[in-house]
Amino acid sequence: MARPRFSFALSASDGKARTGLISMERGDIRTPAFMPVGTAATVKAMRPQEVRESGADIILGNTYHLMLRPGAERVGRLGGLHDFMGWERPILTDSGGYQVMSLSALTRMSEEGVAFSSHIDGSKHMLTPERSMEIQRLLGSDIVMAFDECTKNGATRDEAAASMERSMRWARRSRDGFDSGGEHAARAALFGIQQGALDQELRRVSAEKLIDIGFDGYAVGGLAVGEGQEAMFATLDFAPDMLPQDKPRYLMGVGKPDDIVGAVERGIDMFDCVLPTRSGRNGQAFTWSGPLNIRNARFAEDKGPLDERCGCPVCATWSRAYLHHLVKAGEILGAMLMTQHNISFYQQLMAEIRASIAESRFTAFARDFRAGYLKS
């Protein structure tokens, strides 16, 4: 029996928190889901098999970085991103819009798109909604993100409104560009991105325009850009409710474990963030008792695991003392093991969130999680 192109079914809810299943040709995605970030066709310091064994159903690839190196056309000639990196399950690719705005030198925006200079070699490029759809098609993405402008934190209301309106015009062009993608469009999904900064009315207008265009899922964009958790949660108190109940809702670029729990409380289904991998490379572990800096001298002779509650291979095998040594010595294995633990911890967190929603005890889970995680 053929698998569906894309379907989403909710199985349980507890307050606004939801759990369900996205089904696609390359596999199912259990929600709420955390997507490890594979920016340059790799989840840094991890093999694909280890990422899957952590419990991840889907990973994220980056349009901006892959278009610059090794090049989308090259990845396409080599069979697409899945074959290229050895990951057989679904991949979501972002549109490149955020990275163009944040990483590129000499950026120039117009109604057509964004002209920019590569942060790698200074070469000139133009990224438009149509080109973003083409790149994501060449990569073989399963979930394609519409091209948008990420409104800068601190923008005035007029600036936020103009930015949102441009993103909505680009969303329509993204839809048209995606739909012209032939075989890829017949098996992939397209998500729209709500913008509007922290403004409730702008978010409402954005949601209405996106729904009118029609997407398989909807992202809440323009958050986790420096506004702080309180402002982010205040926006999530209303923004997800504006999006269709029967479609997945994706909060882009989030985040810390307590951010994720708070966003699930407000109706979010999907997340991604570089934090677990970046922190792992820098010696920070996430644990049920809060973040832990393994560089700290107090761990030099600590025979215990990173986290007593964690069942990952790292915690089952190596001590804090050994990991302290590896990280302090700058050994590559230290970054690998710390990252593996962090990705495993995030996937354990998502599994417990899903179970608690299914068993109608999410409110208690969230309370107990915060009591343990934030006590430090």
Sign of the Cα torsion 216, 220, 224, 230 reads: negative
Block residue for tokens 């909604």: 129
Catalytic residue, candidates 14, 94, 148, 216:
94
Q: How far apart are CA 229 and CA 349, in angstroms?
A: 19
Query: 């700290």: which residue's tokens?
Result: 296
Work out the number of other CB atoms within 10 angstroms of the CB of residue 31: 28
In terms of phi and psi (left: phi > 0; alpha: psi -120 to 50; beta: otherwise), the region of 290 is left
Contact status, residue 345 vs residue 276, Cβ threshold 8 Å: yes
Omega into 255 within 30° of 0, i.e. cis? yes
**How many CB atoms are located within 10 Å of the residue 279 CB?**
19
Query: Active-site residue among 142, 216, 272, 307?
Result: 272
10 Å Cβ neighbour count for 40? 15
What are the two backbone dihedrals, phi and then psi, of residue 214, each rounded to the nearest 5 degrees? Answer: 95, 115
What is the β-pairing status of strands 17-24 and 27-31? antiparallel
For residue 216, indicate whether it is catalytic.
no
Which residue bears the tokens 């990173």? 306
- What tokens appear for 27 in the block? 């596999």
Helix extents (H) in 180-281:
183-187, 200-213, 229-236, 257-265, 275-281
Is residue 84 exposed (0-12), middle (13-18) or buried (19+ Cβ within 10 Å)? buried
C-alpha to C-alpha distance for 224 and 91, rounded to whole angstroms: 22
Q: Among this protein's residues, is 179 annotated catalytic? A: no
Catalytic residues: 94, 272
